[in-house]
Amino acid sequence: MLGGLLVGAALAGCGAKAHGSGAAGKSRPATVDSALAHPLRVVATAFPLAQLVAYVGGADVKVTDLAPAGVQPEGLTPSAAQRKELASAQLVVEVGAGYQPKVEAAAASRRHLALLPAVTKKAGSYEFWLDPYLWSSAAGKVADALSAVSPAGKRQFENGARDFESLASSISSDYYSSLSSCPLREFVTADDAFGRMASAFSLVDVAVSSTGVKSALATIAQYSIPGVFSEQGVPSGQLLQVAKADHLEAKSLDPMELAPAPGTKYQTYFDVMEANLHALEGPLECDTSASYY
């Protein structure tokens, strides 16, 4: 299991920088030396992207997370300082597909990688990092983009992508083994951030922001859903209305969009994915008798 993975330094807030070997959650192997004289300057436009780039790039990248700590990156309007960060970057890694239109426009003249269109053309929620299958594919795309900027680091970047893909594959296996036989397939959330993840594992994310309170209550009644999920960084007013109306417990899921505030306990991508899985198991009435977490 991945719950005991080493925790790296957080990439927190606008302009916060960290060499890749410590910023991705689980550090790249210590025996991997930098292949470049100077790390590549990469701007990632959301915290999950910064984690991924730092892991794949290792010591060969210096990542700036564009979104300030605690600020929702979706729809971000870049400040003058952030525009300078974008202008000076050797590579900009963004979600793409309209997630941050003003950031995308500001980065248009730079070498950039729009990750979401690179890994899927299928419509759905922007938070594709919550689907470990898509996030595994994204690692290879990041390695390709870094190699295009600096061919000398190609081998290191490919090794980093393979390491990340291996860990993401383990997460995928955990999700599949835990969720494939759960008798309940619907879960209620504040918005549709978990839509892609749900679809990947034959679940249904009933987002109150899309369906409305009345429809969500009808779904809860139809399937006897025992609880609902708020999401960190997402307005929960409608969801709490649903919980109060049906006297349900509101648990929490983490869509991993927000960079952590300085000084707060940092959790890796892998840690949070496992925590989200554990949170889902109870309300979906999954059989955890054989669990060895």
pLDDT digits (tens, 9 = 90+) for 239-278: 999 999 999 988 999 999 998 887 777 678 999 999 999 9
As a whole number, mean pLDDT of residues 21-46 equals 67
> Taking the model in full, what pTM does it have?
0.87
More confident residue, 145 or 236: 145
Residue 266: predicted pLDDT: 66
pLDDT-based confidence at 36, cuts 50/70/90?
Answer: confident
25 has a pLDDT exceeding 60: no
98 has a pLDDT exceeding 90: yes
DSSP annotation string for 199-233? HHTT-EEEEHHHH-HHHHHHHHHHHT--EEEEETT
Residue 224: predicted pLDDT: 92
As a whole number, mean pLDDT of residues 268-289 equals 91
- Which residues are registered as beta bridge partners of 186? 204
Tokens in use for 92? 């900009």
pLDDT digits (tens, 9 = 90+) for 37-62: 889 999 999 999 999 999 999 999 99
Hey, what domains does the chain have and what are their CATH numbers? 16-175 (3.40.50.1980), 182-281 (3.40.50.1980)
As a whole number, mean pLDDT of residues 97-116 equals 95
100 has a pLDDT exceeding 90: yes
Residue 262: predicted pLDDT: 78
Residue 57: predicted pLDDT: 97
Interior angle at CA 202, CA 199 and CA 207, nearest 5: 50
pLDDT digits (tens, 9 = 90+) for 200-235: 999 999 999 999 999 999 999 999 999 899 998 888
72 has a pLDDT exceeding 60: yes
CB 51 within 8 A of CB 3: no
Alpha-carbon distance of 48 to 76, in angstroms, equals 15
Cα–Cα distances (Å) from 199 to 52, 166, 206, in that order, read: 22, 22, 11
pLDDT digits (tens, 9 = 90+) for 56-65: 999 999 999 9
Residue 291: predicted pLDDT: 55
Residue 267: predicted pLDDT: 76
pLDDT digits (tens, 9 = 90+) for 118-153: 999 999 999 999 999 999 999 999 999 999 999 999
CB 136 within 8 A of CB 164: yes
Residue 134: predicted pLDDT: 96
- Decide: residue 151, CB within 10 A, 0-12 exposed, 13-18 middle, 19+ buried: exposed
Which residue stretches of 23-131 are H helix? 47-57, 80-88, 101-106, 115-119
Round the average pLDDT of the chain to a whole number and report it.
87
